[in-house]
Structure 1
């Protein structure tokens, strides 16, 4: 049974689809792998961030992006946010946003 990928909201979907072409192509390839095999692909494609959050690690000649996601029931993952990576870590403020969105998704899922 295939996995589905959804976005937290339209803004997150738009920011993800606005990634530079090379990064977006890699993101879409990883998304296809997730749909077929599930989100636990491991590095270099996905990695756990802790506290229920995971990341899609997309790369292109333009740089690197991270899409933070969580899993919910019925083989669905929800992309909570996408950022172009500028440093070694996702900025703290953006991780706080992802945690807040995770709680909203979990509350909607009960």
Structure 2
């Protein structure tokens, strides 16, 4: 039985499709863990809190490192609002601000 549901905003789905195949597969594995185990699956090394209600999923492959920024909402749902390839050590503020903006625009 699935415990939680992982949803991707339309913009995030487009970003997800542009990620390298190996990194997409790693994110899909995390999505499966969340569906089966709930928020207990969202801990290091798979996820961590970034700022306020924004969290990040972490995936790494031969082609680099990527992050999916998400929020947890009522109804046992995780909504991913942004995917990006990480190029710096720290998650860039502009990525966090974009994620917050998308949350507001989509009333999440």
Q: How does the TM-score come out when normalised to structure 2?
A: 0.88
Q: List gaps (5 residues or longer) in structure 2.
A: none
How many correspondences in the alignment? 106
1:26–1:65: structure 2 CA closer, same or farther, 3 Å change rule?
same
Q: Which residue of 2 aligns with 1:38?
A: 38
* Residues 1:63 and 2:56 aligned together: no
8 Å contact from structure 1 (residues 69, 77) kept in 2: yes
Structure 1: gaps (5+ residues):
none
Q: What is the CA RMSD across the aligned residues, in angstroms?
A: 1.5
Q: What is the aligned partner in structure 1 of residue 8 from structure 2?
A: 7
Partner deviation per Cα, 1:25-83 (whole Å, 9 max, x = no partner): 11111110011112343111111112011111011111110000001110111101000
TM-score normalised to structure 1 length: 0.86
Moved over 4 A (4+): none
Mapped to 2, the partners of 1:53 and 1:83 lie a distance apart of 14
